[in-house]
Chain A
Amino acid sequence: MMSAQAPILILLIPLLCGLAITLVAQKSKNLAFFLILIGMIGSFSAACSTLIQVLQGSAPIHYRLGGWPPPFGIELVIDHLNAMVLFIVSGSALLTAVYSRNTVIVEIPDRVHHYYTLYALLVSGLLGMVATGDAFNLYVLLEISALSSYALLARGRGLAYLSTFKYIIIGTIGASFYLLGVGYLYIKTGTLNMADLSQMLASPDMKESVSIKTGFVLIIIGVWVKMGFFPLHGWLPNCYSRASTTTSCLIAPLMTKVSIYVMIRLMFSVFSVDYVFNTLQFQQAVVWMACIAIVAGSISALAQQDLKRMLCYIVLAEVGYMVGGVWLMNSNGFAGAVYHIMSDVMMTLCLFMAVGAVIYKTGDSSLESMRGIFRKMPVTATAFLIGGFSIIGIPPTCGFFSKWYLITGAVETGQYHFMIALLFSSLVNAVLFFRIIEIGFFNRFDDSGHGIHQKFEFSEAPVMMLAPMLICAASLLVIGLYTSFILRNIVQWTIPAGL
């Protein structure tokens, strides 16, 4: 009985919890934490139930809101692709909620209940974007998640207000472009339901229509702004690196990946493989842009002295991986990109959590704060190491397998520049992380070459921070070891027909 309602419960539970937190948890920080935990657990278990249902039956689940039939009413459509994304988004939101127990009280002591309300709203917005089968509904949920993320990001360090202001301006341009693009599609087809749209758009005269092309370009640019794809990425590093620890753990892995999911959904479920790759002629250009995104992101990451900024530039490079993989026009590249959505959420989350724990203990986010990390905080350091290995792409971790499929796709289609960009990025990431390992393990000298006899006391982060971090790190290995299982049961189903 409940499992039939699971798709809507995924987003309703966090939404109602957010409401409950503002209403009843004003006085008690513990109650606010308890409620957010309930919300995230509820949402995660509903997502698990949905994933199991999708894996058991081969057809997608259609959930009609209010019982209205599709072209008129809004529906939620859950197939293999978004069941996986829902699972991973709600799972990492749950882990971050557990992690936030210590950090939120330190960073935002006066407004804990407001913080958790926005947290719940953001998560339900993101989950809604993933679950919905309606193009306009997607816009509304996109704005719900964007608005709550503006408020969350503004409560940060240093110049957070200024960078958030820039994000508001740019994010609004992105969302408005999306809305305008949907308007073009609506003028030509008269419908907003994604399945209905794709049927209408399949007719030959629609393929030639300039309005539809304009609509597609506007929608894609809008989504690219949201994910921080290369020429449109300017807002992302400042905004995410100045946010508070919990906020960057929550937003940095999820927002970009959900935008990539939206791009895939619109490209292949609203438009079609044939339309995107054969009617439109900019597939090559997008792959080149992805290459530039990867190279520029990696080099910029190398130039940073601040751990969080470094991670933000890595996130930008990873966005390039996924966009490039999707636009390679190859089933292996596509599988790599979809698999990478899952693994990238976990590895960036793992790294942001580890860096957050370092900041929590040392109050500093520069590379120097990693000095002696293996003695002071061995568990955090291990999690950081596993996350770093996964970003580099060292075999037992999942980062290796996604890169493998992306490179296979690049070779099969003869787009060697993408392969070179991926290998270059791996190399730079290796330099990046081994430099930090060196600081953490060996470097006991100050700048003038004198040995420092500094004793590093063991002072590990609290258990509530370590547990989710270790689960993340373990999941990187588990996802890596079960790669063939995931590919066979989930990713294979998501590859669109004709690719």
Chain B
Amino acid sequence: MYMESLISFIVTEYNYSAALILIMIGMYGMIAKNNLLKKVIGMSIFQSAIILFYISIGYKGGASIPIIKHGSGMADHAAIDPTLYVNPLPHVLMLTAIVVGVATLGVALAILQKIYRVHGTIEEDEILESLKE
């Protein structure tokens, strides 16, 4: 019974599972990896997973891109059927989130470069080792 509902959840709403798996991969990379660059990659995967999650919630079966067919000048705006178009709002939000993600990545890489110049390595254990001496 539970197994069936779990399987049907995985099959029908695979977008959530996919986002969850990507989030887990990203978290694993950030927490478990020793190489700081791999941590940054994990961070990027984590953010991308959330972006995909948002994008997928705007989707509707059988709907088209959100451009109104009988565009400007038509007076019948009230007659638009919302089921014909996917929800554009999450997509627009994610444009902002992508910009934020790129900026975070940029700052992280710049600081990583500085760490490499100061410590000569980007392996976390080697840096900690060199600090003890």
Residues of A whose CB lies within 8 Å of any CB of B are 136, 139-140, 143, 147, 150-151, 154, 159, 161-162, 164-165, 168-169, 172-173, 176, 179-180, 183, 186-187, 192
Contacts and interface: CB of A to CB of B under 8 A. Distances in A.
B50 A180 contact: yes
A159 B131 contact: yes
Contact of A143 (B54, B57, B100, B108): B100
Given A165-B36, A183-B53, A172 B104 contact: yes
Q: What are the 8 A-B residue pairs with the smallest beta carbon separation, nearest first?
A: A143-B100, A161-B114, A161-B115, A168-B108, A150-B107, A165-B111, A172-B43, A169-B30
A151 B114 CA distance: 12
B26 to A, nearest CB: 9
Given A140-B96, A143-B104, A183 B50 contact: yes
Given A168-B43, A173-B30, 4 more contacts: A147-B100, A147-B104, A154-B114, A159-B131
Interface of B: 23, 27, 30, 36, 39-40, 43, 46-47, 50, 53-54, 57, 90, 93, 96-97, 100, 103-104, 107-108, 111-112, 114-115, 118-119, 127, 131
B118 to A, nearest CB: 6
A169 B43 contact: yes
B111 A161 contact: yes
Q: Is the interface of B mostly helix, strand, loop or mixed?
A: helix
A225 to B, nearest CB: 13
Contact of B47 (A165, A176, A187): A176
Nearest to B42: A169
Given A147-B103, A168-B107, A162 B115 contact: yes
Contact of A168 (B27, B50, B104): B104
A449 B24 CA distance: 59
B53 A169 contact: no
B7 to A, nearest CB: 19
A143 B97 CA distance: 9
A491 to B, nearest CB: 34
B46 A176 contact: yes
B123 to A, nearest CB: 12
B113 to A, nearest CB: 9
Contacts of A165: 36, 108, 111-112, 115
A272 B43 CA distance: 33
Contacts of B100: 140, 143, 147
Nearest to B118: A161
A187 B23 CA distance: 18
Contacts of B30: 169, 173
A147 B97 CA distance: 13
A187 B55 CA distance: 12
A143 B103 CA distance: 9
B105 to A, nearest CB: 10
A168 B30 CA distance: 11
B50 A169 contact: no
A147 B119 CA distance: 23
A192 B92 CA distance: 13
B42 to A, nearest CB: 8
A183 B115 contact: no
Contact of B111 (A154, A173, A176, A180): A154
Contacts of A151: 107
A319 B97 CA distance: 29
Of A139, A150, A165, most B-chain CB atoms within 10 Å: A165
A205 to B, nearest CB: 19
Contact of B90 (A139, A154, A162, A186): A186
A492 to B, nearest CB: 37
Contacts of B57: 183, 186-187
Contact of A169 (B39, B90, B119): B39
